[in-house]
Structure 1
Amino acid sequence: MNTAEDRTSAPVRGAERLTCSLDELVERAGALAVAGSRHILGITGAPGAGKSTVARAIADALNGQATQVGMDAFHLANEILAAHGSRDRKGAPDTFDPWGYATLLRRLKTNGEAVVYAPTFDRSLEESIGSAVAVGRDVPLVITEGNYLLLDAAGWQECREQIDEVWFLDISDGERQRRLLRRHEAFGKLPEEAEAWALGSDQRNADVVASTRERADLIIDLRCAHSPETFPQA
Structure 2
Amino acid sequence: MESPIKIDGLDLKKLVERVKEIQLETPTGKKLIILLAGVPGSGKSTLSCKVVKLLNEEHNIKSLVLPQDGYHLYRSELAQMPDPEEAITRRGAPFTFNADAFLKTVRLLNDPTSSSEVIRAPSFDHKLKDPIEDDIKIDPDTKVVFIEGNYVLLKDPGWCELVDIADDSWFVTANKNLIRNRIIKRHLEAGIASNEQEAIDRADGSDLKNAKYIEENLFVPQILIQNN
Q: TM-score, structure 1 length as denominator?
A: 0.84
Match of 2:77 in 1: 80
Q: Secondary structure at the match of 1:157?
A: helix
Q: Give, in whole Å, the separation in 2 of the partners of 1:17 and 1:222.
A: 11
Amino acid at match of 2:174: I
Indicate the structure with greater helix content: 2
Contact residue 37 and residue 152 of structure 2 kept, 8 A: yes
Counterpart CA distance in 2 for 1:106 and 1:143 is 13
Aligned to 1:90: 91
Query: Unmatched 5+ residue regions in structure 1?
Result: 1-11, 224-234
Deviation at residue 106 of structure 1 after TM alignment? 0.4
User: Contact 2:184–2:203 at 8 Å: present in 1 too?
Assistant: yes
CA distance 1:68–1:129, shift in 2 (3 Å)? same
The equivalent residue for 2:221 is 216
Distance 1:27 1:141 in 2: 13
Displacement, 1:213?
A: 4.3
Matched, 1:175 2:183: no
Asked if residue 151 in structure 1 is aligned to residue 154 in structure 2, the reply is yes
What letter corresponds to residue 26 of structure 1 in structure 2?
V
Helix, strand or coil: the match of 1:151? Answer: coil
Gaps of 5+ in 2: none
Q: CA deviation at 1:33?
A: 3.7
Percent of aligned pairs with the same amino acid: 30
Structure 2: which amino acid aligns with 1:134?
K
Q: Is the 8 A contact 1:43 1:145 kept in 2?
A: yes
The one of 42, 48, 53 aligned to 1:55: 48
Contact preservation (8 Å) 2:31, 2:143:
yes
Query: Are positions 1:133 and 2:136 aligned together?
Result: yes
Deviation of 1:97 (Å):
1.0
Letter aligned with residue 218 of structure 1: I
Give, in angstroms, the shift of residue 15 of structure 1.
2.2
Q: Alignment RMSD, CA only? A: 1.8
| Higher deviation after alignment, 72-81 or 30-39 | 30-39
Q: How far off is 1:146 after superposition? A: 0.6
Q: CA deviation at 1:13?
A: 5.8
Match of 2:14 in 1: 24
1:41 deviates by 0.7
2:99 alignment partner AA: P
| SS in structure 2 of the partner of residue 83 of structure 1 | coil
Work out whether residues 102 and 162 of structure 1, in 8 Å CA contact, stay in contact via their aligned partners in 2: no
> Is the 8 Å Cα contact of residues 33 and 66 (structure 1) preserved in structure 2?
no
Report the CA distance between 1:214 and its aligned residue: 5.1
The residue aligned with 1:101 is: 102
- Do 2:154 and 2:218's aligned partners in 1 also have CA atoms closer than 8 Å? no
Equivalent-residue separation in structure 1 for 2:203 and 2:164 (angstroms)? 30
The number of equivalent residue pairs is 212
- Counterpart of 1:94 in structure 2: which amino acid? F
Asked if 2 retains the 8 angstrom alpha-carbon contact of 1:39 and 1:142, the reply is yes
Would the aligned equivalents of 2:70 and 2:132 in 1 still touch at CA under 8 Å?
A: yes
Which position in structure 1 is the counterpart of 2:3?
Answer: 14
SS of 1:143's equivalent in the other structure is strand
Name the residue aligned to 2:31: 38
SS at the partner of 1:48?
coil
Equivalent residue of 1:178, what SS? helix
- Work out the CA distance in 2 between the residues paired with 1:23 and 1:125: 36
CA drift at 1:215: 1.7
